[in-house]
């Protein structure tokens, strides 16, 4: 007998939710792999890392969910099964690390463009992501060394996989708050960087408005508008995207960290709904990420069109999309 704890309709909805996220991340990776523009290689690398982490996190969670639901309980109560659940956190936290690198890179590009061009290279971004990912691996695997809770043999067989937030020993509680500090630090960094990006772009918008009024009065308005206006619109659109990313990441991750504080004040049944909402928000972050970062960007939708066009020749008209190039301090739009 399995340890099923959800109904049939709920299981269908959960499965659709997972497949929606998995397919979105796969399509995002395909689109990014086909983009060989050397001028945006750094951004493609970060987006690939983000989509790969989200994809692996969803696949791991999806497989373990079905193992727990449909295999014998003795499988879901083993220590190796609980270990797989712990290892899956590497990809979840790794996604947050990549999002942080993206926010810092864009902030540095707009606030210090000259230093950005000189010091921020593809190699430095690779090294930064690798170091953060290795730090995440060490943090996640600490419970295997006895620092952090993940398995309790004294519990009932179906409840031996224990979340670190329900720790009772001092060292396990310390690990829970270590994770809390790590993730909250990522959230704070992302918020600060995105606010800096929005502030810089808002200042540039006001400056361009003043210059445009001067150009209009001197008779050079048409030439100024043709060279600046499109860039300004793209920059403001990108600022809005960064703001959405900032808000979405914080909304999805902070409730999960708040559950640590709530659980340490007592594990009560009335908190179960909040725990489930926090877990759903984390899964939602992995699911929506590819659509937010890649598929909803105009220059990425052209790649999506190429993927699905062989399956439906009459669904897409041959309408060219303008391409956009993201540089250190502006976005250049080039019509096809």
Instruction: Please report whether residue 2 resides in a domain.
Output: no
Tell me the C-alpha distance between 193 and 245, whole Å: 11
CA distances from 60 to 66, 86, 243, 283 (A): 10, 11, 29, 12
**Cα atoms in the 13 Å half-sphere on the side-chain side of 320:** 6
For the residues of 33-102, what is the DSSP string, one character each? HH---GGGHHHHHHHHHHHHHHHHHHHHHHHHHHHHHHS-HHHHTSHHHHHHHHHTHHHHHHHHHHHHHH
Q: What is the pLDDT of residues 19-67, one digit of tens each?
A: 999 999 999 898 888 876 666 788 888 888 989 999 999 999 999 888 8
| β strands within 126-248, DSSP E | none
Residue 207: the pLDDT is 65
Q: By the 8 A CB rule, do 302 and 321 touch?
A: yes
Q: Using N-to-C axis directions, what is the helix angle for 230-264 and 170-218, rounded to 10°? A: 160
Is residue 15 over pLDDT 50? yes
Q: By the 8 A CB rule, do 24 and 300 touch?
A: no
Residue 136: the pLDDT is 95
Q: What is the pLDDT of residues 165-207, one digit of tens each?
A: 888 889 999 999 999 999 999 999 988 988 888 888 777 766 6
| Residue-range definition of the domain harbouring residue 307 | 8-334
Stretch 272-284: mean pLDDT, rounded? 88
CA distances from 285 to 13, 19, 50, 91, 95 (A): 17, 14, 11, 12, 9
Instruction: Please report whether residue 54 resides in a domain.
Output: yes
The CATH number of whichever domain residue 108 belongs to comes to 1.20.1070.10
Q: What is the pLDDT of residues 208-260, one digit of tens each?
A: 666 666 655 555 545 545 555 555 555 566 666 666 777 788 888 899 999 99
Residue 335 phi, psi (nearest 5): -65, 145
Read off the pLDDT band of 330 (50, 70, 90): very low
Instruction: Please report whether residue 1 resides in a domain.
Output: no
- The region, left, alpha or beta by phi > 0 then psi within -120 to 50, assigned to residue 180 is alpha
Residue 183's nearest CA partner among 67, 268, 97, 105 is 97
Tell me the C-alpha distance between 164 and 222, whole Å: 62
3-class SS of residue 151: strand
Residue 272: the pLDDT is 84
Tell me the C-alpha distance between 251 and 187, whole Å: 10
Instruction: Please report whether residue 300 resides in a domain.
Output: yes
Instruction: Please report whether residue 80 resides in a domain.
Output: yes
Tell me the C-alpha distance between 55 and 2, whole Å: 27
As a whole number, the mean pLDDT across the chain is 77
Count of structural domains, the chain: 1
Instruction: Please report whether residue 97 resides in a domain.
Output: yes
Read off the pLDDT band of 333 (50, 70, 90): very low
The DSSP bridge partners found for residue 323 are: 334
Tell me the C-alpha distance between 129 and 103, whole Å: 12
Instruction: Please report whether residue 3 resides in a domain.
Output: no
Query: If you ran DSSP here, which 8-state letter would residue 150 be given?
Result: -
Q: Using N-to-C axis directions, what is the helix angle for 272-290 and 41-70, rounded to 10°? A: 140
Read off the pLDDT band of 132 (50, 70, 90): very high
Is residue 316 over pLDDT 60? no
Q: What is the pLDDT of residues 137-164, one digit of tens each?
A: 999 999 999 898 888 877 665 567 888 8
Please, what's the largest Cα pairwise distance for the chain? 82
């Amino acid at each position: 007998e399995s340890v099923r704890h959800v109904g049939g309709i709920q299981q269908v909805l959960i499965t659709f939710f997972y497949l929606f996220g998995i397919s979105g991340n796969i399509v995002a990776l395909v689109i990014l792999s086909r983009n060989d523009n050397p001028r945006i290689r750094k951004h493609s690398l970060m987006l690939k890392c983000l989509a790969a982490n989200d994809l692996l996190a969803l696949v791991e969670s999806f497989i373990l969910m079905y193992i727990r639901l449909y295999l014998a309980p003795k499988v879901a109560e083993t220590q190796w099964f609980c270990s797989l659940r712990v290892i899956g956190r590497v990809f979840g936290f790794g996604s947050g690390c990549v999002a942080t690198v993206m926010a810092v890179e864009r902030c540095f590009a707009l606030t210090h463009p000259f230093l950005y061009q000189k010091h921020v290279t593809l190699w430095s971004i690779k090294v930064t992501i690798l170091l953060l990912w290795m730090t995440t691996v060490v943090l996640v695997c600490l419970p295997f060394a006895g620092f952090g809770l993940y398995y309790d043999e004294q519990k009932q067989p179906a409840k031996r996989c224990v979340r670190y937030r329900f720790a009772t020993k001092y060292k396990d509680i310390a690990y829970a708050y270590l994770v809390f500090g790590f993730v909250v630090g990522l959230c704070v960094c992302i918020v600060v960087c995105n606010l800096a990006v929005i502030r810089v772009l808002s200042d540039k918008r006001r400056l361009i408005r003043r210059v445009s009024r001067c150009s209009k009065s001197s008779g050079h308005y048409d030439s100024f508008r043709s060279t600046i206006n499109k860039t300004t619109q793209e920059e403001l659109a990108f600022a809005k995207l960064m703001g959405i990313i900032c808000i979405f990441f914080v909304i999805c991750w902070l409730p999960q960290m708040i559950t640590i504080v709530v659980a340490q004040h007592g594990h009560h049944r009335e908190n179960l709904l909040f725990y489930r909402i926090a877990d759903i928000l984390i899964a939602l972050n992995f699911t929506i990420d590819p659509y937010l970062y890649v598929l909803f960007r105009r220059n990425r939708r052209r790649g999506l069109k190429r993927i699905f066009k062989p399956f439906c020749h009459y669904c897409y008209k041959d309408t060219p999309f303008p391409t956009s190039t993201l540089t250190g301090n502006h976005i250049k739009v080039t019509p096809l």
